[in-house]
Structure 1
Amino acid sequence: MDKTCVTTSFVKKILHDAQTVKKTTEIVAVELKEDTFVQSKEGVEIGRTGDYLVINNGGASAGYIIQGQVFHELYEQVGENRYRRKGTVLAYQMDEPFYIIPTWNEGRPLYSSEKGGYLLIHNEDDFNICSFEDFEMTYKSVEA
């Protein structure tokens, strides 16, 4: 089966069908002191100095990068290296494999599992992948 490439135009088409969700777990993250590559379960991610590496995700998969500027917009510190997600995000369930090519990953694609997963949409140009299993452990639906 071919994987669907999720693009900005795809996101615009499905926005009205996405559900509003809130992250329910805290994360543990460390600020990167130098550029690095990280092998997440979705693929190779590039971390730059000042970005954050998530090392614990409330029992869900960790080992992924969040850009420094985005991290400070999305997370508030609640303890030493512990952070809680602010606000809500849109989630769209995809029951087939898909991939994204995030602008922050220098053209390197990230892939869902063969079962698909959730597309987490921060805005039309910023979205990422969350497996079904990780989504169930770390997000809950919010009444709109």
Structure 2
Amino acid sequence: MKNRFKIEGDIATIYIPYLDQVLETIIDTKDLPVAQSFIGTWRAFSTRPGKYYIGGGIFFRRNGNIPGHTKQFTLARLLMGFPEELVVDHINDNSLDNRRSVNLQAITSSENVKKQIKKRGKGVYRTVRRRAGELGLGHLYDL
């Protein structure tokens, strides 16, 4: 990891460059060696205004000079050990709080959708469906 960091007791703060500012993400101090195992610089990306995720990428080269691909991943998934077929949820909805001990949990996609619906309220529509030329909204469920 090429980012600067600070340790204060059980919490390590990692400084993340984002446009013209520096964001701070926190992790458990015991997880700092895992975060430091990433050879690049942790970066922030935004999914909507005010919502940031911390991630990085590793470039995989194929045989010789054949172009490869970059595998992107988030800091939260790395800290949780890349759980297969599960998503990593931030319990307090603060994606800059990556403390595994109190804020990260691995859950199924359906559990994550239910959590989002509870936050937003009743009558959330999930998808648009096409059936025999007609369009309609797919109603997920009412709470």
TM-score, normalised by the number of residues in structure 2: 0.23
Q: Which has the higher contact order (CA 8 A, sep 6+)?
A: 1
* Bigger Rg, structure 1 or 2: 2
